[in-house]
Amino acid sequence: MWYKLRLNLNKLTPAQVIVTYYLLAVTIATILLSLPIAHKSGAEWSFLDAIFTAVSAVSVTGLTVVSTVDTFNTTGIFILMFVLQFGGIGIMTLGTFFWLIVGKKIGLKERRLIMTDQNQTSLAGLVSLLKQILLLIIFIEIVGAFILGVYFLGYYPTWQQAFIHGLFASVSATTNAGFDITGQSLIPYANDYFVQFITIILLTLGAIGFPVLIETKDYLMSKKRNKHHFSLYSKITTVTFFGLMIFGTLVIFLFEYNRFFDGMEWHEAFFYSFFQSATTRNGGLATMNVAEFSIPTLLVMSALMFIGASPSSVGGGIRTTTFALNILFLFHFAKGNQTIKVFKREIHHQDVIKSLVVTMMAIFICFLSVIILTFTEDHSIMEIVFEVASAFGTTGLSMGITSELSSIGKCVIIVLMFIGRVGILSFLFMIGGKEKTAKYHYPKERVIIG
């Protein structure tokens, strides 16, 4: 039986296996989070809510239909952290780690699985990479937990409470989960720039992509720093990541200058802009009620969430590199160039095609979701667009409609979070199939384009 299952797994494409693994993780998470020992007495908890919370946790989105702090007791909080950890670092990473622990050699087949999950294109050094990822993330989380825990001693009556809040805040930030146990995101720390600053650093370390972290670590530890090469991927994603962060900060600051920020000190307005921009990469935590922003700001934030974080990170969306390649492509096409050159490298044509597929499919899926939700929900288009972008980007920000969604609405958001986390390419390959080479050809004929 087990043997047969293994055989069947071997017949599946990597993308299909990844999706199967995620489905398995969601099932386990649903069961774990539904355990009675995890709940406070009297907490309301339907089966659909359980699935919603499990998908939101595994995909580290952070959208919630029930209040985390009102539903889960301390045991529940630890189970939730465990699920976030699984989701954030990626099931394949942990799977590989367990394989390493029990001493099994990782064959080419397994390596290829991981490759698809983290979307790596080089097989070399993958095993050692995964070890490093895990150690690095846990290291970051512990440092974050310690700093925040010590700082929270001033906020909470006992050191246990301070450190549990510190640990949860650190794990939630590093995995970009966006879950909170304050009951109101980071609003209690709206004027605490230290907590915000640490949180933004942790969010960024989680969302900027593991390869960037590893390459930076290698660079810092290398003795011949001038000979160290950063990969094209790292350069593109880092520039895009911080470019979007700066762009978002500027736009929010300017758009809300005479509106939400009216009468505020410049540093308050700046930190509100900066944090809310940074959080759209993938964090999902907020220092204010985003529904108070005006429509243009919310549209830009929706676009930023839709773009999302780096690939090979804890984030979702179409990913930074996809967006960067789209922009580079349009720019070079308009200039009439045949090849896309950036950082003294040429972009592979196949990658450009992939990036266009991802974006188009994502726009199509999100537009379809908006139409369905405007049909089933009794909320404004802005609230719905924001919710859809947040779910697809696995960001977790909301204008406050999540808990009021209808059953169909919840299902749509569940699917969006799932696709956002798995990634459009894996999703497409799952429903599609393996790459084929054409067996026959027809004559080519030109067509008039708009």
Residues 303-322 that bind a second copy (CB under 8 A): 303, 308, 311-312, 317-319, 321-322
E-strand stretches of 109-179? none
For a second copy, the closer of residues 27 and 337 by Cβ is 337
Measured from the CB of residue 29, what is the shortest distance to a second copy in angstroms?
A: 23
How far apart are alpha carbons 392 and 362 in whole angstroms? 8
Question: Which residues make Cβ contacts (< 8 Å) with residue 140, sequence separation at least 6?
Answer: 174, 202, 205, 206
Question: Which residues make Cβ contacts (< 8 Å) with residue 177, sequence separation at least 6?
Answer: 57, 60, 61, 62, 84, 87, 88, 171, 284, 396
Measured from the CB of residue 271, what is the shortest distance to a second copy in angstroms?
A: 23
For position 308 contacting K ion by CB under 5 A, the verdict is no
**For residue 171, which of 78, 96, 261 has the smallest C-alpha distance?**
78
Single out the residue of 123, 333, 406, 407 in contact with a second copy (rule: CB under 8 A): 333
Site string for a second copy, 182-221 (x = CB under 8 A): ---------------------------x-x----------
For position 433 contacting a second copy by CB under 8 A, the verdict is yes
402-431 residues in contact with a second copy (CB under 8 A) are 423-425, 428-429, 431
For position 316 contacting K ion by CB under 5 A, the verdict is no
Measured from the CB of residue 315, what is the shortest distance to a second copy in angstroms?
A: 10
Region near a second copy per CB under 8 A, out of 131-139, 215-223, 409-417, 434-442: 434-442
How far apart are alpha carbons 159 and 234 in whole angstroms? 40
Are 217 and 136 contacting, i.e. CB atoms less than 8 angstroms apart? yes
Residue type present at position 167:
L
Tell me the C-alpha to C-alpha distance, in Å, between residue 315 and each of 30, 74, 95.
21, 26, 19
For a second copy, the closer of residues 135 and 381 by Cβ is 381
33: left (phi over 0), alpha (psi -120 to 50) or beta: alpha
Are 283 and 204 contacting, i.e. CB atoms less than 8 angstroms apart? no
How far apart are alpha carbons 309 and 392 in whole angstroms? 11
For K ion, the closer of residues 179 and 189 by Cβ is 179
Long-range contacts of the stretch 407-414 (C-beta < 8 A, 24+): 407/48, 408/372, 408/376, 409/373, 409/376, 409/377, 410/48, 410/52, 410/65, 411/48, 412/369, 412/372, 412/373, 412/376, 412/388, 413/52, 413/63, 413/387, 413/388, 414/51, 414/52, 414/55
Taken in order 285, 287, 291, 296, is the CA torsion positive or negative? Answer: negative
Across the strands, what pairs with 39? 72
368-387 residues in contact with a second copy (CB under 8 A) are 370-372, 374-375, 380-382, 385
Region near a second copy per CB under 8 A, out of 37-45, 99-107, 215-223, 351-359: 351-359
For a second copy, the closer of residues 139 and 331 by Cβ is 331
Site string for K ion, 277-296 (x = CB under 5 A): -------x------------
Region near K ion per CB under 5 A, out of 41-49, 345-353, 389-397, 420-428: 389-397
Q: What SS3 class is residue 244?
A: helix
For a second copy, the closer of residues 68 and 276 by Cβ is 276
For position 393 contacting K ion by CB under 5 A, the verdict is no
For K ion, the closer of residues 392 and 429 by Cβ is 392
Element (H, E) at 167: helix 159-174
Are 424 and 357 contacting, i.e. CB atoms less than 8 angstroms apart? yes
Tokens coding 122: 């080089």
Question: Which residues make Cβ contacts (< 8 Å) with residue 178, sequence separation at least 6?
Answer: 60, 61, 62, 63, 172, 185, 283, 284, 285, 395, 396, 397
Measured from the CB of residue 225, what is the shortest distance to a second copy in angstroms?
A: 21
Measured from the CB of residue 408, what is the shortest distance to a second copy in angstroms?
A: 13
17-76 residues in contact with a second copy (CB under 8 A) are none
Site string for K ion, 53-92 (x = CB under 5 A): ---------x------------------------------
Across the strands, what pairs with 341? 346
Count of C-beta atoms within a 10 Å radius of residue 251: 18
Are 15 and 40 contacting, i.e. CB atoms less than 8 angstroms apart? no
For position 252 contacting a second copy by CB under 8 A, the verdict is no
Measured from the CB of residue 61, what is the shortest distance to K ion in angstroms?
A: 5
CB-closest chain residue to K ion: 284
Site string for K ion, 155-184 (x = CB under 5 A): ---------------------x-x------
For position 265 contacting a second copy by CB under 8 A, the verdict is no
For K ion, the closer of residues 60 and 79 by Cβ is 60
Single out the residue of 347, 366, 405, 412 in contact with a second copy (rule: CB under 8 A): 347
75-134 residues in contact with a second copy (CB under 8 A) are 118-122
For position 11 contacting a second copy by CB under 8 A, the verdict is no
Measured from the CB of residue 142, what is the shortest distance to K ion in angstroms?
A: 21
Which residues of the chain form contacts with K ion (CB under 5 A)? 62, 176, 178, 284, 396
